[in-house]
């Protein structure tokens, strides 16, 4: 069946896309995606013409620019006393920030299907979605008067830049600015967000003239220009100087942020750079968002909190929640929009709903529903689900790790506990979860067991003086190692899961705690995927984290490993002093040829994996006396 679906998609040039939010996948024609992405690129990007003779040349140039920027950040001291504050960045930070295995990013289209009412009678089951589904006037053709008669499917184009040349630099900038990334108004977790709202509504019921409102920044990342970020950083630079022990120069740090915005993306075998906005998917973008919001909160929110204009304020990324008088809403809006033209807000006010025979005010924020009686001001919080949310979870008998299924159940139980303001509401949500998971085959004994275990842990954590410790019989976590080692294993059924559980219990835990992560193949991974660029003529040259071989014309083979791009390693092998070049010089008729390199293993995480595979391949060719490498010692490996 999977093969037939894949062949159908390939024949009709259809690709499978992961949605922006939610589960499942969307089938769209390849040409349609290319047209939409082309429109997006032409509107928001400009082509880079200099130093782009090849992808390898561009990446090498960018890595050199990053290296010089980091060295400038290290060598340029700030205004603090150098005898007391001598550190800018450490040697380890310098090493980690210098990227030598960078790749050129390309956009991934994510269809926004979460705004469609999939279960409504209006759309029915399997109704096609088309962004250009319109009724045309036959006499005039398609024009501005064409009537839209179908739902529009929108896209979010994300560029994952976690392996770009400036990815390490972006992480370093975020680490440097960590002391001022939270102004004190931002909550670090969604459960903490819910707890703050619960404390406010339970301890101080709303007055008749008060309300809760939710404010969202409009197109935040599209307006997060580098000049805007640097201007906001200057507003809170004095706070940074007080909180940090580093002696950082402002201009050197501002240059580092600008360099992060210069990374290019690959589209249609050309390289483009953003005209404006922030590089979505880059490690520096979350840091810059925090800096902008921290400057905004310091200059605007703190003043309104002190004056009493706002009585409650909390933020998660760019979603803010406030409590204030109804009559002050317009004044608050004016103050918020006066900060900077790039920071504009939309506001959502409470709606009136009926619960039984009672009328309540209701406003959602994230996945938290806030309700209160407009007459008494008494209210509560509960789990909120969007109208488009599906109750479908992974069925118990599906082919997949049991840990995934149990983890989904435990996560839902935790959310019921943290988002419910009292036990009655939590009990209602727990009953709903029981029904939801039983419908997909979860054993009732397992559901009951996980509910009891999870709630026991959460209740003890919330009030250890009243509730018993369910883990009292276990070893104290403080006595366990703080480091974790992760084993990545393919999922091959429940029998394999049982064996892995035994292995987990027998592994030593004196120096490191063991975490096992399973990998699986999903249906959408077997269907054609969209790529914004054609494969390069020799994709091997830009591959990283690999074991490679060079086959000489005489039949001898050289094995090597590298975490960098193969093209970079080939340039180093071209040196006359390398062992492989010495063999070529001594080999009659042999010449250096870049095309004789090939990859024997790829996707190897960490030096240990690469060294292990390299040794196995050297031993393999050494048995036939074909290895150029010298095999000093080896031993046979056996499967267990």
Question: How do residues 25-46 score in pLDDT, each as one tens digit?
Answer: 788 888 888 888 888 888 888 8
- Across the range 299-314, mean pLDDT stands at 93
Question: Mean pLDDT of all residues in the chain?
Answer: 82
Q: What is the pLDDT of residues 3-33, one digit of tens each?
A: 787 888 888 888 888 887 766 778 888 888 8
Return the percentage of the chain with pLDDT > 70, whole number: 88
Q: Specify the range with the lowest mean pLDDT, choosing from 102-106, 123-127, 367-371, 403-407.
A: 123-127
> What's the chain's length in residues?
640
Q: Which residues pair with 485 in a beta bridge?
A: 514
**H/E segment holding residue 434:** helix 423-439
Give how far Cα 416 sits from Cα of 32, 252, 346, 430, 468, Å.
Answer: 41, 47, 29, 7, 21
- Across the range 612-616, mean pLDDT stands at 85
- Would 28 be classed as within a structural domain? no
Query: Which pLDDT does position 114 carry in this prediction?
Result: 61
Whether 468 has a pLDDT exceeding 90, the answer reads no
345 and 270 in a common domain = yes
Query: Which pLDDT does position 427 carry in this prediction?
Result: 95
431 and 552 in a common domain = no
Q: Which of 204, 259, 208, 209 is nearest to 66 (CA)?
A: 259
207 and 92 in a common domain = yes
179 and 310 in a common domain = yes
Give how far Cα 159 sits from Cα of 46, 266, 534, 542, Å.
Answer: 15, 10, 17, 18
- Would 390 be classed as within a structural domain? no
Q: What three-state secondary structure class fits 150?
A: coil
- Would 435 be classed as within a structural domain? yes
pLDDT band at 147 (very low <50, low <70, confident <90, very high): very low
* Cα–Cα dist 461/442, whole Å: 27
Give how far Cα 464 sits from Cα of 450, 460, 620, Å.
Answer: 20, 5, 59
Give the distance, in angstroms, between the CA of residue 255 and the centroid of all CA atoms in the same chain.
25
Query: Which pLDDT does position 50 carry in this prediction?
Result: 58
- Across the range 595-620, mean pLDDT stands at 83
* Cα–Cα dist 57/59, whole Å: 6
Query: Which pLDDT does position 121 carry in this prediction?
Result: 39
Q: Which of 558, 564, 552 is nearest to 578 (CA)?
A: 558
Query: Which pLDDT does position 307 carry in this prediction?
Result: 93
Burial of 608 (0-12, 13-18, 19+ CB in 10 A): exposed
* Cα–Cα dist 367/114, whole Å: 14
Query: Which pLDDT does position 599 carry in this prediction?
Result: 87
Q: What is the pLDDT of residues 80-94, one digit of tens each?
A: 777 777 778 888 888
Q: Specify the range with the lowest mean pLDDT, choosing from 81-95, 125-139, 170-184, 343-357.
A: 125-139
Query: Which pLDDT does position 119 carry in this prediction?
Result: 38
Whether 549 has a pLDDT exceeding 60, the answer reads yes
Higher pLDDT, 553 or 418: 418
DSSP 260-299: HTT--EEETTEEEEESSS--TT-HHHHHHHHHHHHHHIII
Q: Which residues pair with 272 in a beta bridge?
A: 47, 265
Query: Which pLDDT does position 414 carry in this prediction?
Result: 95
- Would 316 be classed as within a structural domain? yes
Q: Which residues fall within 8 angstroms of residue 585, CB to CB, at 6 or more apart?
A: 576
Q: What does R_g of the chain's alpha carbons equal in angstroms?
A: 29
- Across the range 201-206, mean pLDDT stands at 92
* Cα–Cα dist 102/64, whole Å: 12
Whether 640 has a pLDDT exceeding 70, the answer reads no
Query: Which pLDDT does position 209 carry in this prediction?
Result: 92
Query: Which pLDDT does position 128 carry in this prediction?
Result: 47
Question: Residue 217 — φ and ψ, nearest 5°?
Answer: -70, 130
Query: Which pLDDT does position 129 carry in this prediction?
Result: 45
* Cα–Cα dist 32/14, whole Å: 9
- Would 175 be classed as within a structural domain? yes
- What tokens does 99 get? 């990227």
- Across the range 171-182, mean pLDDT stands at 92
549 and 426 in a common domain = no
> Is residue 282 a contact partner of residue 288, using CB atoms and an 8 Å limit?
no
Whether 113 has a pLDDT exceeding 80, the answer reads no
Q: Which of 412, 443, 462 is the last residue of a domain?
A: 462
Query: Which pLDDT does position 1 carry in this prediction?
Result: 67
Structural domain boundaries enclosing 454: 402-462
Q: Specify the range with the lowest mean pLDDT, choosing from 128-132, 481-485, 510-514, 625-629.
A: 128-132
> Which CATH number does the domain housing residue 607 bear?
3.40.1440
351 and 406 in a common domain = no
- Across the range 283-301, mean pLDDT stands at 93
Q: Specify the range with the lowest mean pLDDT, choosing from 202-206, 268-272, 327-331, 352-356.
A: 268-272
pLDDT band at 136 (very low <50, low <70, confident <90, very high): very low
* Cα–Cα dist 233/141, whole Å: 52
pLDDT band at 633 (very low <50, low <70, confident <90, very high): low
- Would 31 be classed as within a structural domain? no
pLDDT band at 631 (very low <50, low <70, confident <90, very high): low
* Cα–Cα dist 532/541, whole Å: 19
215 and 78 in a common domain = yes
Neighbouring C-alpha atoms within 13 Å toward the C-beta of 526? 12
> Is residue 360 a contact partner of residue 378, using CB atoms and an 8 Å limit?
no
411 and 302 in a common domain = no
According to DSSP, the β-strands at 134-135 and 26-29 are unpaired
208 and 89 in a common domain = yes
Higher pLDDT, 51 or 129: 51
Q: Which of 303, 328, 359 is the last residue of a domain?
A: 359
Q: Specify the range with the lowest mean pLDDT, choosing from 196-200, 403-407, 551-555.
A: 551-555
Whether 493 has a pLDDT exceeding 50, the answer reads yes
334 and 267 in a common domain = yes
Q: Which residues fall within 8 angstroms of residue 584, CB to CB, at 6 or more apart?
A: 552, 590, 591, 592
Whether 372 has a pLDDT exceeding 50, the answer reads yes
Q: Which of 74, 99, 112, 76 is nearest to 283 (CA)?
A: 99
- Would 593 be classed as within a structural domain? yes
Q: What three-state secondary structure class fits 186?
A: strand
182 and 58 in a common domain = yes
580 and 447 in a common domain = no
Query: Which pLDDT does position 148 carry in this prediction?
Result: 39
* Cα–Cα dist 62/81, whole Å: 33
- Across the range 197-220, mean pLDDT stands at 92
Query: Which pLDDT does position 110 carry in this prediction?
Result: 83
Q: Which of 443, 462, 481 is the last residue of a domain?
A: 462
> Is residue 333 a contact partner of residue 347, using CB atoms and an 8 Å limit?
yes
* Domain count for the chain: 3
- Would 245 be classed as within a structural domain? yes
């Amino acid at each position: 069946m999977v093969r037939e679906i894949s062949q159908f998609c390939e024949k009709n040039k259809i690709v499978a896309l992961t949605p922006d939010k939610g589960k499942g996948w969307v089938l769209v024609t390849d040409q349609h995606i290319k047209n939409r992405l082309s429109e997006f690129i032409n509107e928001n990007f400009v082509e880079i013409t200099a130093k782009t003779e090849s992808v390898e040349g561009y990446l090498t140039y960018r890595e050199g620019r990053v290296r010089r920027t980091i060295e400038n950040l290290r060598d340029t001291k700030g205004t603090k006393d150098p005898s007391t504050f001598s550190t800018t960045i450490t040697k380890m930070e310098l090493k980690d920030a210098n990227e030598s295995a960078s790749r050129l990013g390309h956009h991934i289209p994510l269809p926004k299907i979460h705004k469609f009412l999939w279960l409504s009678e209006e759309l029915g089951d399997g109704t096609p979605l088309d962004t250009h589904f319109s009724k045309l006037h036959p006499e005039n053709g398609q024009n501005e008067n064409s009537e839209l008669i179908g739902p529009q499917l929108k896209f979010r184009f994300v560029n994952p830049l976690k392996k770009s040349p400036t990815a390490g630099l972006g992480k370093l900038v975020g680490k440097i600015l960590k002391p001022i990334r939270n102004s004190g108004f931002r909550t670090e977790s969604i459960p903490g967000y819910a707890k703050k709202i619960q404390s406010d509504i339970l301890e101080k019921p709303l007055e008749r003239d008060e309300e809760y409102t939710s404010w969202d920044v409009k197109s935040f990342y599209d307006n997060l220009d580098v000049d805007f970020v640097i201007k906001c950083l200057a507003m809170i630079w004095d706070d940074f100087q007080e909180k940090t022990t580093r002696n950082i120069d402002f201009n050197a740090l501002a240059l580092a942020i600008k360099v992060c915005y210069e990374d290019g993306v690959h589209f249609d075998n050309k390289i483009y750079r953003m005209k404006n906005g922030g590089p979505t998917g880059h490690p520096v973008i979350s840091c810059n968002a925090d800096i902008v919001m921290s400057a905004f909160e310091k200059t605007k929110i703190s003043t309104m909190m002190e004056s009493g204009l706002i009585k409650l304020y909390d933020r998660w990324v760019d979603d803010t929640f406030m409590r204030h008088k109804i009559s002050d809403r317009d004044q608050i809006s004016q103050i918020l929009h006066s900060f900077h033209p790039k920071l504009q807000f939309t506001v959502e006010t409470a709606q009136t709903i009926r619960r039984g025979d009672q009328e309540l005010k209701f406003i959602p924020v994230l996945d938290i529903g806030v309700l209160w009686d407009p007459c008494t001001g008494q209210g509560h919080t509960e789990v909120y689900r969007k109208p488009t949310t599906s109750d479908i979870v992974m069925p118990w008998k599906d082919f997949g790790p049991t840990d995934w299924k149990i983890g989904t159940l435990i996560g839902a139980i935790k959310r019921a506990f943290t988002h419910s303001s009292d036990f009655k509401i939590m009990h209602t949500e727990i009953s709903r979860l029981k029904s939801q998971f039983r419908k997909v085959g979860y054993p009732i004994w397992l559901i009951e067991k996980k509910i009891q275990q999870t709630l026991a842990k959460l209740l003890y954590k919330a009030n250890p003086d009243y509730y018993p410790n369910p883990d009292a019989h276990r070893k104290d976590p403080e006595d366990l190692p703080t480091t974790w080692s992760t084993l990545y294993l393919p999922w091959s059924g429940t029998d394999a899961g049982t064996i892995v559980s035994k292995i987990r219990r027998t592994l030593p835990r004196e120096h490191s705690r063991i975490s096992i992560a399973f990998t699986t193949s999903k249906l959408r991974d077997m269907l054609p995927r969209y790529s914004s660029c054609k494969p390069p003529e020799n994709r091997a040259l830009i591959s990283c984290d690999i074991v490679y071989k060079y086959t000489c014309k005489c039949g001898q083979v050289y094995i090597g490993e590298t975490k960098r791009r193969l093209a970079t390693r080939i340039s180093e092998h071209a040196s006359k002093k390398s062992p492989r070049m010495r063999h070529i010089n001594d080999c009659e008729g042999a010449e250096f040829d870049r095309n004789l390199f090939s990859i024997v293993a790829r996707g190897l995480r960490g030096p240990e994996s690469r060294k292990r595979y390299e040794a196995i391949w050297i031993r393999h060719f050494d048995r036939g006396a074909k290895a150029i490498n010298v095999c000093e010692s080896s031993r046979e490996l056996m499967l267990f």
